[in-house]
C-alpha cells in the first residue's frame, strides 16, 4: 500500500541464503531449500540475468554456506558442494577463484562478510584465512562456534541493505 511492487515466489526460495548479486548478475543456488524454477520468476521480476548453481552436498543446504563473494572479480567456494557443471560455471565466471578445503567449509568459513578489503570469517577456518591473506585480504576471524549450532555463520548475522538491486 506504499507503492512498492512485491513478488512472493510460488515455490521454494530461501532468499539471500541462496542468492547473491555480483556485478548485477544474480547467482542462485538450488537443490535443497530453493528450486531452480523460482529463479526465472525472480529474473523476470527484477529484470536481471540469473546464473543457476546446483548444490549437491546436504551439509551445505544454502548457497552462502559454500560460496562467498570477496570482490567483483573474486569468489571463494567449496567445490564438492556443487555439481560438476556448477563447479565449471563458477571457475569460468570469475577472474579469481579460491577453492576452499572441506575442513574450512564445514567450519562455516565461507559464510563471510567482505567489504572487498576486509573479510570477517569463522575463526575455525584457519586454512581459508591463509588463502585470503595470500590473496591480499585483511582477515578478521570471529569465533561463532555457538551461533554455528543454529546452522549459521557470519553472513547469517548481517543485513546488507546496500546490495539490494
Q: Which residues are catalytic?
A: 62, 156
Integer angstrom CA distances of residue 8 from 45, 53, 99: 10, 21, 34
Look-up: residue for cell 569465533? 143
DSSP tag of 124: T
Cell of residue 128, nine digits: 581459508
Element (H, E) at 84: helix 84-93
Cβ–Cβ contacts within 10 Å for residue 6, how many?
A: 5
Amino acid at each position: 500500500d506504499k507503492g512498492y511492487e512485491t513478488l512472493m515466489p510460488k515455490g521454494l526460495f530461501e532468499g539471500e541464503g541462496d542468492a547473491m548479486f555480483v556485478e548485477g548478475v544474480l547467482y542462485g543456488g538450488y537443490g535443497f531449500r530453493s528450486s531452480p524454477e523460482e529463479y526465472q520468476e525472480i529474473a523476470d521480476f527484477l529484470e536481471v540475468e540469473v546464473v543457476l548453481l546446483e548444490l549437491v552436498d546436504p551439509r551445505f543446504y544454502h548457497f552462502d554456506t559454500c560460496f562467498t563473494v570477496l570482490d567483483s572479480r573474486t569468489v571463494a567456494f567449496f567445490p564438492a558442494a556443487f555439481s560438476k557443471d556448477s563447479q565449471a560455471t563458477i571457475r569460468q565466471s570469475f577472474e579469481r577463484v579460491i577453492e576452499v578445503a572441506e575442513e574450512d567449509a564445514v567450519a562455516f568459513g565461507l559464510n563471510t562478510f567482505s567489504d572487498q578489503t576486509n573479510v570477517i570469517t569463522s575463526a575455525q577456518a584457519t586454512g581459508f584465512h591463509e588463502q585470503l591473506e595470500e590473496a591480499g585480504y585483511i582477515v578478521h576471524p570471529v569465533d561463532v562456534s555457538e551461533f554455528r549450532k543454529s546452522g549459521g555463520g557470519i553472513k547469517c548475522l548481517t543485513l546488507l541493505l546496500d546490495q539490494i538491486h
